[in-house]
Amino acid sequence: MTRNDRRAWLKFLAASPLLAGALPFASAPARRASAATRPLGSAAEALDVFELRDLAQRLVPPAHWGYLQSGVDGDVTLRANEAAFARYELRGRRFVDVSHLDLATTVLGMPLATPIFCCPIGSLRALHPDGEVAVAAAAKTRNALQILSTQSSYPLEAVVAARGGPVWFQLYTTNRFEATRQLLKRAESAGCPVVAVTVDLPAGRNTETAARLRREDTRLCSACHTVDAQGEPRLSLAAEPMFQGIDTRGLALTSASLSWDFIKRLRDATTMKIVIKGIEAGEDAALAVEHGADGIIVSNHGGRALESGRATLESLPEVVRGAAGRIPVLMDGGVRRGTDVYKALALGARAVGIGRPYAWGLGAFGQSGVERVLEILALEFRLAMVGCGARSVREISADSLIARG
Ligand SMILES: Cc1cc2nc3c(=O)[nH]c(=O)nc-3n(C[C@H](O)[C@H](O)[C@H](O)COP(=O)(O)O)c2cc1C
Q: Is the CB of 332 under 6 A from ligand 1?
A: yes
Give the pLDDT score at 37. 62
Q: Is the CB of 350 under 6 A from ligand 1?
A: no
Give the pLDDT score at 11. 45
Ligand 1 closest atom vs CA 277:
11
Q: What are phi and psi of 396, to 5 degrees?
A: -80, 125
Pairing of strands 168-172, 194-198: parallel
Q: Report how far residue 346's alpha carbon sits from residue 340's, in angstroms, rounded to the nearest whole number.
A: 10
Q: Report how far residue 403's alpha carbon sits from residue 405's, in angstroms, rounded to the nearest whole number.
A: 7
Give the pLDDT score at 230. 77
Residue from 242, 304, 354, 360 whose mutation best tests the ligand 1 pocket (most atoms within 8 A of CB)? 304
Q: Report how far residue 356's alpha carbon sits from residue 67's, in angstroms, rounded to the nearest whole number.
A: 11
Query: Which residues of the chain are modeled with pLDDT < 50?
Result: 1-33
Intra-chain end-to-end CA distance of the chain, in Å: 53
Residue 358 near residue 43 (C-beta atoms within 8 A): no
Ligand 1: centre distance to CA 119 (Å)? 6
Q: Report how far residue 341's alpha carbon sits from residue 219's, in angstroms, rounded to the nearest whole number.
A: 38
Ligand 1: centre distance to CA 126 (Å)? 14
- For 299: left if phi > 0, alpha if psi spans -120 to 50, otherwise beta; the answer is beta
Residue from 301, 310, 352 whose mutation best tests the ligand 1 pocket (most atoms within 8 A of CB)? 301
Q: Which residues contact 129 (CB under 8 A, 6 or more apart)?
A: 3, 4, 7, 366
Summarised one tens digit per residue, pLDDT across range 194-240 is: 999 999 998 889 999 999 999 999 988 888 888 888 787 888 999 99
Q: What are phi and psi of 380, to 5 degrees?
A: -65, -40
Give the pLDDT score at 38. 76
- CA-nearest residue, atom 6 of ligand 1: 121
Domain count, the chain: 1
Pairing of strands 147-148, 273-279: unpaired
pTM score: 0.92
Give the pLDDT score at 35. 52
Residue 115 near residue 350 (C-beta atoms within 8 A): yes
Ligand 1 closest atom vs CA 354:
27
Summarised one tens digit per residue, pLDDT across range 143-160 is: 999 999 999 999 999 999
Ligand 1 closest atom vs CA 196:
11
- Domain of 212, CATH number, reads 3.20.20.70
Q: CA dihedral defined by 7, 8, 11, 17, rounded to 10 degrees? A: -140
Give the pLDDT score at 36. 53
Summarised one tens digit per residue, pLDDT across range 41-74 is: 999 999 999 999 999 999 999 999 999 999 999 9
Pairing of strands 168-172, 147-148: parallel
Q: Is the CB of 68 under 6 A from ligand 1?
A: yes
Give the pLDDT score at 79. 98
Q: Is the CB of 301 under 6 A from ligand 1?
A: yes
Q: Is the CB of 168 under 6 A from ligand 1?
A: no
Give the pLDDT score at 253. 96
Pairing of strands 401-403, 88-90: antiparallel
- CA-nearest residue, atom 3 of ligand 1: 121
Residues acting as catalytic residues: 301
Ligand 1 closest atom vs CA 198:
11
Residue 220 near residue 69 (C-beta atoms within 8 A): no
Residue from 65, 68, 79, 121 whose mutation best tests the ligand 1 pocket (most atoms within 8 A of CB)? 121
Show the 3-state SS of the chain: CCHHHHHHHHHHHHHCCCCHHHCCCCCCCCCCCCCCCCCCCCHHHCCCHHHHHHHHHHHCCHHHHHHHHCCCCCCHHHHHHHHHHHHEEECCCCCCCCCCCECCEEECCEEECCCEEECCCCCHHHCCCCHHHHHHHHHHHHCCCEEECCCCCCCHHHHHHHHCCCCEEEEECCCCHHHHHHHHHHHHHCCCCEEEEECCCCCCCCCHHHHHHHCCCCCCHHHCCCECCCCCECCCHHHCHHHCCCCCCCCCCCCCCCCCHHHHHHHHHCCCEEEEEEECCHHHHHHHHHCCCCEEEECCCCCCCCCCCCCHHHHHHHHHHHHCCCCCEEEECCCCCHHHHHHHHHCCCCCEEECHHHHHHHHHHCHHHHHHHHHHHHHHHHHHHHHHCCCEHHHCCHHHEEECC
Q: Give the domain range for residue 242.
A: 3-403
- CA-nearest residue, atom 15 of ligand 1: 301
* Positive or negative torsion for Cα 151, 155, 161, 167: positive
Q: Is the CB of 151 under 6 A from ligand 1?
A: yes
